[in-house]
Amino acid sequence: MKKLLNKMSTFSKIGIALIDSIIIFLSYFILEIFIRNNFLLPNEIVRQTLYNAIIAIIVYEIVFCCFKVYYNIIRYENGKDYLKYFFASAISCTILCCIIEIFNLNLLSVMHNIATALLISMFLITYRVIVRMLLIYEDRENKDNKNNSQEKKLLIIGAGSATRNIIRSIETNLKGSYNIVGLIDDDKRKIGRTISDIKVLGDRNDIVSICKDKAVDIIFFSISKIDNKDRKEILEICQNTGARVRILPSTEDIIKNKNLIENLRDVEIEDILGRDPIKLDNNNIEELISDKVILVTGGGGSIGSELCRQIVKYNPKKLVVFDIYENNLYNIEMELKQNFPNIKVDAIVGSVRDRNKIENLFKTYKPYLVFHAAAHKHVPLMEVSPLEAIKNNVLGTYNVVKACDKYNVKRFVLISTDKAVNPTNIMGATKRMCEMIIQTIDKASKTEFVAVRFGNVLGSNGSVVPLFKKQIANGGPVTVTHKDITRFFMTIPEAAQLVLQAITYAKGGEIFVLDMGEPVKIYDLAESMIRLSGFEPNVDIPIKITGLRPGEKLYEELLMSEEGLQATKHNKIFVAEPLDLTIDELEEKIKVLSDLVKSENHTLQEIKDTMKEVVPTYEEPDKFNKRKIS
């Protein structure tokens, strides 16, 4: 039987055509016998039926060849292929009836040929379906009996169309790679039913027990349309299974790549956070950007490049992308020009430290809006090179701010950070100084200067998440600086969208604080990422505590105690009240820092002491962390 089935699945075109011819031939006699209810047919009827069947075979086979039905592989045929057989039979019957009528042949009637055509199509489809089912069954039998060490036991969450396509893709292209043990769905009506002979075993509450009983190696989360809260809850359950989890992304990503297996990705922290998508007031954003010249400094960086991607959607007259790092600048320029060929994009290499370069940039383009994302942001690196942070972050920002004021820019937006709040490191102190610059200059300028403050951005350069992924892929250890350290997290698109929304509320002098949700414990994040990769924390992948880095806080904050907090029209955006600082006081602080960077002959402590004078809220991390712990 096995040999026969395998021959059927790989039979030559001539062999399949021969079987079809036999089916056509027999169908005519079967119908005659059925109509007359007698196996002994009159000689005249036998003659008519024989001649009719021979002509029918010729016509049918010619039409079948035109329809290329013999290019199909029976093992992989589906509904579309079966419809092809039906329509090919219908067309063949029509041609045959026309031949009989035109040449006035003494053969069977038109109605008889139509009835036979239905019988032929039914037999053709039925025998192919039976052969296909037997072959699939044989494959599964072989798979179950074969001890393949590379085959992974797979549980699929979701019993919808995406799951059906995944099962089909596995059966077609990935035999021997996965053994699908069952499906999970919260719809009680689906439990006990099957998709492609794979049974729905239970709902989310059964995931852990099923994984244990079936020794599941990997879980596919195949629900693309699901509430973020439910996604988070199901993924938290999956963490307790010991199985690796892969997840189906958005419908948009699926459309770009129709191969569902290739679309499946590892679980990201965004899935674990379970936050609802941000809703924007696009009309107000478009009014600010449409047909205007927009400048983004640091436009090649993580936040800057995403701002560029969001800005071009609102049809600016021209987007000017300014960055010192030419590789990133080139990449975002090529991406924007490819995806938005009708938008003018100018990529300019340069540093915000270069006052003359900034002057020429503003003189040439006269931007309407400026998004200032250029900054040194890595805390440990800036602790080692504090003067570079001051030059780039403080003095560079001051150069851009002064140019905005001189060339009557409508609105300037500083991309700030939660590390500016009660800073314990040089980077944070420089960003707090930047906030002080824009709040003070705003009082005397026609330009509206604002800042947007948020926490860690997922997937950005230097973010902890890509580091953890790399460490897990290498077998560990995953390094965490302190078991109690927490951080606020936001995705890059979330951050960029909220920046654009915040500027529509700006009047000048505000520091917009973005709602980052609840702070995330980094140690717990490391454990979740390890579990969702199919490993056990501190068993398969160790977690190593390395100690706080220079200038690092245990807890980040989004608001200082002396700042008030006011709501805006958007439930994710708040405004911190500005602090009083005169222009003269600001310029004195800038002079102190300018004098400081002119000489490299300063100790790290001398630089820190100077920053403490300039930024009163700056303090050593040891004092801050002890106060927070107590």
- Domains of the chain in start order, with CATH, are 2-144 (no CATH), 152-267 (3.40.50.720), 282-626 (3.40.50.720)
The region of weakest confidence among 310-314, 337-341, 388-392, 491-495 is: 491-495
The C-alpha atoms of residue 295 and residue 299 are separated, in whole angstroms, by 9
The pLDDT score that the predictor gives to residue 553 is: 72
Residues annotated as catalytic are 419
The residue written with tokens 């004078």 in the block is 613
Q: Would you state the pLDDT for residue 265?
A: 73
The per-residue pLDDT for 9 is 44
Q: Which of 457, 426, 453 is nearest to 439 (CA)?
A: 453
For residue 301, report the phi and psi dihedrals to the nearest 5 degrees. -80, -175
Q: Do strands 218-221 and 198-202 pair parallel, antiparallel, or not at all (unpaired)?
A: unpaired
- Is the backbone peptide bond immediately before 367 cis, with ω within 30 degrees of 0? no
User: Average pLDDT, whole number, for the chain?
Assistant: 83
pLDDT surpassing 80 at residue 460:
no
374-387 pLDDT tens trace: 999 888 899 999 99
Q: What is the DSSP string of 155-193?
A: EEE--SHHHHHHHHHHHHH-TTTEEEEEEE-S-GGGTT-
Mean pLDDT of 349-361: 96
Which of 185, 163, 190 shows the shortest CA–CA distance to 247? 163
Going by pLDDT thresholds of 50, 70 and 90, the confidence category of residue 332 is: very high
The CA distances from residue 508 to 287, 293, 395, 410, 453, in Å, are 18, 20, 21, 10, 15
pLDDT-derived band at 554 (thresholds 50, 70, 90) equals confident
Query: What pLDDT band is residue 39 in, cutting at 50, 70 and 90?
Result: confident
The rounded distance, in Å, linking the Cα atoms of 361 and 297 is: 11
> Look-up: residue for tokens 């503003």?
362
So what's the pLDDT on residue 417? Answer: 86
Helices 110-145, 2-9: crossing angle, 10 deg rounding:
120
Model confidence, pTM? 0.64
Instruction: Assign 275 a pLDDT band (cuts: 50, 70, 90).
Output: low
